[in-house]
Structure 1
């Protein structure tokens, strides 16, 4: 049997593009003209910001902005000779400084700075930095910040006033970050929530996965043949996956995602929902929401804000995990992205339980039923 002609091929490095001599024999086909060109291309891809990197940068900016406002308020109280009110803010400033320190350490790691250099800036031994500010520790601080800040949103303006009676404990299941929803302008009718609109028919999970993989393929500009080489399956099978005729295994879905420059953490919740599988503990609500955002071709948050009652800032916080949304907000965002919200329910329950913990300031978590 005569082997098929593999056809012309070119180096995947866009700055090179030189033709590659491919043989029709066995073995994986070459992707780069030489090893050095491949290393240069892979390093360039590693420098592009990942969703986690963008979330870390947004977290650092948010904490720095909060600190700026707190310090300005402390300056006002100091000039007004209100030492007790200013002292009340000291603990808040210290907590925000710890958050900012964690955010900056993670930023340095995202930039591939050496752990020893980061520790030297803080005056800590490298092993102590690893224990105190591991990647998991930074992620926990990011996840817990919404609950810690919600109870003091109005603190800078109320510090000089007598303390008000403590409100009754509130259930995490009903929690809402202030400013999450848009206030209708004067004369504007409030749009009905898409989360409860009976006329809306969200796309089923298998179709959402297909949309996400198709958008990744279009964004990457890779051909079916190139994706077939990356995933070691036939180009016709890749075509059937992208058209929704076939549902791939997670191995193939992951390889397709990586080949297109996507984040497997965003696609895995979509794949699990398409297979009617319960989400794993490794999956998170923000990653699943980013997956739905990907499947909808990543519309701008301002556009989503116009189509929902949520603010663009709240939507950004939900996508990057900097805010714990109420379930109705998760529903509304999912439906605005033309997807079912129910597969997200276990992830939302897990987020509530993780943020509440044994020392939650908002009271015990109530049981959430479907």
Structure 2
């Protein structure tokens, strides 16, 4: 005859400890306590919402790289910057690194690494790792990141869903799609504010913007509309034409040149594109840029200086493509975009006279 006591014993599906059921009738319990029931529920929830840690590691890695560039940039500029900016970027970088370590631990486990191996790399104990980087904890961290409003440098450009913009939002009255690289635009806006010598708060007041929003789009965390960029540039005593090409590039669009555009218009667009790249790199000394020219084109150094100057450079129409390309690459610009500006300029540039060709 079977022992009634052994018949009343049940194995907990969470802790695997056998316990005696309190009520001998009815449905057999699965868990020995409410704590085990809650723990099992958390595990099931984590399994049903398990994050793709490999993909998250790639995404957060891009955020880490962007933040690291911002830290290096804010700490190395010769122009005085907002005192707390390097600290703010450093704190944000620390948070991104913590998230990256968390998903990297889970990814390593998924690929066959042992807790002991990870403990040796991280200088932590196995129990600390299992507590801090459990599937539940890391999944919660990933969900928290997804729940936050996405910062533009963090989200890969290909994954940003295009959002319709109001008509007339762009410099040429176009409605741009919301994608593309935005680092250059953010750097240019940040440098422009520093070169203006005005505090961020003063510029924000003049432009009719909130200081917090200015901090965000100059750090690349938000993407401003063209109207916002124009107001900001004017408040910094800058030329909005210098930012048009950067803004268009950040939105993945081209600024179309009218077929009947004259030389002055095309020249202004070419110079604006080059000055925008120059500004995005904190306006390095032209002599440094000229040193990057091919040997046979050093005689064009005076033209390059005039192109980067604020006044119109009529002689820019005679600038060779080799020198223009070298300048664009030295400024980390898109050679294809600059080539289109250069081609349009060459098409309408006045031809030098015979005397000019003979005597310069």
Settle same-fold status: TM greater than 0.5.
no
Structure (1 or 2) with the larger CA radius of gyration: 2
Q: Please, what TM-score do these two structures have when normalized by structure 1?
A: 0.39
